[in-house]
Amino acid sequence: MKSFLLVPKESIETQAKPGVRGTAQGERVLSRSTALRFSAAQKAPDALTALGLRSATLPGMKPEVSGQAQRGRKRARGKKVTDVDATPMPNAPVTEQAGTEAGSYRFMPLIGATMAHFYSQDAEAAARGELAAEFEFIPDVVPLSFPGPVSAGQTGPRNRGMSSLATREWPDESGVPLAHAQGIRGAGVMLGILDTGVDADHPEHASKTIQFRYVSLFPNSPHNPARDVRGFDPDGHGTHVCGIAAGVHHGVAPEVDLYAASVIESETIRTSLGRVAAGMEWLLHQFSRPENASRPAVVNLSLGFPLQPPPGISEADYLLNQRALQAMLRRLLDSNILPIVAAGNSGPDTVGYPAAFPEALAVGAVDFERNVATFSASGAVGRRVVPDVMGYGVNVYSSTERRCNNQAFYERMSGTSMAAPYVAGIAALYRCRAPDLTALEVRDLILANAIKLPRSANHRTGKGLAVFR
């Protein structure tokens, strides 16, 4: 089986065609449901349907699986059947449960793409013949993951606490205490998190309703559907990120409405372009509901591509994956959503993606004394300098997991993955105070109000430390 993200060539290179915005300059309050239009996008699902691929766009009855009917007939005749494929062998790779059709696809209109799985080379060749002139076929082969482990000495102790702190740690200079004193706590703002998940029953999050989607290993297959369930987190990373941005006791913006999609596995801390696309489409779908379509929104992504093409992956495929992710970030901005991403933990003179995309607000890490973390990634790609801004990302105390007896854990963790949700919380405070500001205006406000940091011999620090003023 091969998987491809089919993206119209017109959309991977250009801005979306805007819908009705009311004025020549564009409405301050943008209705996302009319924001994006790609003339070629619908052609992909139509062509794939005609070629015999099954749509996973809408829920429905599961199709018959190869061999299922034959096994059923054998059992009906009373013969004992040993199904060697029913139980996978230990350490066997996880594979998609494929159907009898030529393949499957999921149309994602809000990001203007279609994810297609082909179960045979003939089906793939036929699809290329129909669509290659107008669509990029982007192979879903380059893994994404959240930034790697940080340098020794700046990680902080694990499992340090089993209760919340008496007060939030955010220094007065951050502006967070002032914002909260003024009643600015993120109310009315939607915050999307793409990560390992969130423990919705942790004391840091249990008092609010969290919209949550688990995006499966094969999210675009009708046989392995994504699910909206009670929020869970097999790793703890996503729960920590959510606690920093939106936790009741520790969060920068504790009153935001939280939308979390689990797109990263705990064992490998890796994900795929298809899973990120499915998670982002779900976020846009939630944000575009009639009751949400004009509300301000922020999205936090603590994930990225490796700095170089992995072994066995061609540079051409690597660059195609990058361009597709960049197009998705562009869709967020087109929909008046500010994307905030972690710069990475590989140190100075390293620039990763998506942090290096101009559409992203890239965040590096400092400690609570404003010292730049040794692991904080920085660098330049052409005229693009990374990071744009810094956030607190060293030994940050936040929620992680619970024991089986329901005892909650809080831990100190370090990384630009911690700095990014701090800045996402700051962005939510600005959007709470002035919900009519556009995403780009909020970005400019964060950069203009940043506290300048001393020059560093090794690190770039962008505009400085993000704060609320």
Listed range (82-91, 170-179, 232-241, 277-286) with the worst mean pLDDT: 82-91
The catalytic position among 3, 164, 195, 376 is 195
Domain presence at residue 402: yes
Q: In the numeric block, which tokens belong to residue 69?
A: 């009917």
Strand-by-strand arrangement of the 2-8 sheet: 54-55, 103-108, 113-118, 2-8, 135-139
Of residues 308 and 72, more confidently modeled:
308
The mean pLDDT value for 251-269 works out to 88
What are 331-348's pLDDT values in tens digits? 898 889 999 999 999 999
Domain presence at residue 72: no
Domain presence at residue 370: yes
Percent of the chain topping pLDDT 70: 79
End residue of a domain, out of 139, 154, 188: 139
Domain presence at residue 66: no
End residue of a domain, out of 115, 139, 163: 139
What are 82-106's pLDDT values in tens digits? 333 444 444 555 555 555 678 999 9
> Is position 250 annotated as part of the catalytic site?
no
What are 161-209's pLDDT values in tens digits? 667 888 899 999 999 999 999 999 999 999 999 999 999 999 999 999 9
Residues 346 and 218 in one domain: yes
Q: For the CA atoms of the chain, what is the radius of gyration?
A: 23
Beta strands 379-381 and 2-8 are: unpaired
Residues 203 and 335 in one domain: yes
What are 33-71's pLDDT values in tens digits? 544 556 678 899 999 999 999 888 754 333 343 343 333
> Is position 417 annotated as part of the catalytic site?
yes
Domain presence at residue 194: yes
Longest dimension (CA), the chain: 80
**pTM, rounded to two decimals:** 0.86
Residues 237 and 352 in one domain: yes
Q: Angle between the 273-287 and 315-334 helix axes, to the nearest 10 degrees?
A: 10
For residue 249, the model assigns a pLDDT of 94
> Is position 459 annotated as part of the catalytic site?
no
For residue 200, the model assigns a pLDDT of 96
Give the domain CATH number at 230: 3.40.50.200
Listed range (49-63, 293-307, 429-443, 445-459) with the worst mean pLDDT: 49-63
How many other C-beta atoms can be found within 10 angstroms of the C-beta atom of residue 294? 16
Structural domain tally of the chain? 2
Q: In the numeric block, which tokens belong to residue 449?
A: 């109000």
Residues 338 and 234 in one domain: yes
pLDDT grade for 112, boundaries at 50, 70 and 90: confident
217: exposed, middle or buried (Cβ count in 10 Å: 0-12, 13-18, 19+) = middle
**Do residues 332 and 372 touch, judged by C-beta distance below 8 A?**
no
Domain presence at residue 319: yes
For residue 32, the model assigns a pLDDT of 61
For residue 228, the model assigns a pLDDT of 83
Residues 221 and 340 in one domain: yes
Residues 279 and 326 in one domain: yes
Show the domain range for 218: 172-449
Q: Find out whether the peptide bond into 219 is cis, omega within 30 degrees of 0.
A: no
The catalytic position among 117, 205, 237, 459 is 237
Residues 233 and 294 in one domain: yes
For residue 402, the model assigns a pLDDT of 87
For residue 34, the model assigns a pLDDT of 45
Residues 188 and 274 in one domain: yes
End residue of a domain, out of 139, 164, 190: 139
Residues 114 and 219 in one domain: no
Residues 309 and 386 in one domain: yes
The mean pLDDT value for 125-135 works out to 96
pLDDT grade for 21, boundaries at 50, 70 and 90: very low
**CA-CA distance, 461 to 376, in Å (whole number)?**
9
Residues 268 and 346 in one domain: yes
Domain presence at residue 265: yes
Domain presence at residue 115: yes
Beta bridge partner(s), residue 5 = 115, 138
The mean pLDDT value for 138-147 works out to 86
The catalytic position among 164, 346, 376, 417 is 417
User: Does residue 329 carry a pLDDT above 90?
Assistant: yes
Residues 194 and 312 in one domain: yes
